[in-house]
Amino acid sequence: MPTNGVNVSPDDRGPWINLVTWILLVVAVLAVAVKGFSKWTLLHKFQYDDLLVAAAALVAVGYGVAVSSQVKAGLGKSISALSLQDTSHYQQAAYASEMLYVISLCLAKLAILHYLLSLARRPRRTSAVKGCMIANILWTFVAVVSVAFQCPFPRPWELFSPRCFDQSAFWDAFAAVDISLDMACAILPIYLLRDLQLAWNRKFQVMASLATRALLVPITVTRLVYLNNASKSPKHSMVDFPVVMATTLHVYLSVIVTCIPFIKPVMDGLQTGILASNVHTTTRTREPSLALSWLKGSSTRGTSAGSPGWPGTQTQRSFATVASGPEAAHHDRGLSISSQDGMIIKETKTVTVQIGS
């Protein structure tokens, strides 16, 4: 029956794959473009995460081409309707799409992890992010090699061959690791930004936007269920339809959700919170008289502020400046002041008295 120009029938459901693939591809490309525009508007430069997500989108384009070739070769049709040439082309396209699927997921995860690395402001947090990045790269290498050699040479793309390794077991393992990495990407923002200086509702918004890879877990599970069911049937071209549909959703939504944290409202909130947490200027002086004037009559370690000055006395003054936008700061005797309209200046004074011998 005709459906918006797409000829779909119970014996040929492949055109639905094409429709969904190219719609999601356009959305993914637009999401990458919006991400790049937002980053350029705020920072006036592109960073490695922009290149990584663009590479993930480019690989996803290749995946779409491979899936379209698979549809053309008979995906969604009865296996009996495929010629020997169609069967060969079908397997080659499926082989290529599996490789591109694994690589695209890896690049999308690396994009968000690289951005989280820039938010990890302490060594332990940096190590946690780098650990996830290394695990992602190593697992992707293992997965790509496994997919490349799943069937014996000289025809490793003959996925219907009984000589291939247990593909169902491999994809079970792949899904388990992929879910673990996605959940790590979702939990890391909470770990990295728990001390962000923002109102709770704004902080939740920022954390939730950075944890959007958790939304991919149900798709991974759904794909795995369909794939295990398909592995029990010899009618590959027909039963592969829901598997390829779930895989297509996974590929393109992986790119799309990676771009969500980079929309301007989220980045504005994140930028403000980090400024509130980090922007500070500290000055120190070793003038005893100035130290005593800050004490204003209070005593430290039983010593009165009115007493003479001691050698080794230190005074520490720190000021924190919080602004909602880019700062044009100037410094006057250790005080950092923003000239941005609507600024908030928070001043914290700390006095430390050390008595030396």
Q: What is the pLDDT of residues 150-192, one digit of tens each?
A: 888 888 888 887 788 888 899 999 999 999 999 999 999 888 8
Region of residue 5 (phi > 0: left; psi between -120 and 50: alpha; otherwise: beta): left
Q: How many C-beta neighbours within 10 Å does residue 355 have?
A: 11
Residue 280 has pLDDT above 70, yes or no: no
DSSP state of 215: G
**Coil, strand or helix: which one is 165?**
coil
Domains and CATH numbers, the chain: 2-273 (1.20.1070), 279-350 (no CATH)
Residue 99 has pLDDT above 90, yes or no: yes
Residue 313 has pLDDT above 50, yes or no: no
Q: Rounded to 5, what percent of the chain is helix, strand, coil?
A: 65, 10, 25
Q: What share of the chain has pLDDT > 70, as a percent?
A: 69
Q: How many C-beta neighbours within 10 Å does residue 279 have?
A: 17
- 315-322/329-332 β-pairing: unpaired
Q: What are phi and psi of 285, to 5 degrees?
A: -140, 150
Q: What are phi and psi of 329, to 5 degrees?
A: -90, 145
In the chain, beta strands by DSSP E: 2-3, 6-7, 280-285, 315-322, 329-332, 335-338, 344-350
Q: What is the pLDDT of residues 106-143, one digit of tens each?
A: 999 999 999 888 888 788 889 999 999 999 999 999 99
Q: Which residue has the higher pLDDT, 186 or 86?
A: 186
Average pLDDT over residues 225-239: 82
What is the torsion angle, in degrees rounded to the nearest 10, for the CA atoms of residue 179, residue 180, residue 183 and residue 188?
-150
Residue 7 has pLDDT above 70, yes or no: no
In DSSP terms, 12 is beta-bridged to: 9, 77
Give residue 55's pLDDT: 95
Average pLDDT over residues 316-337: 40
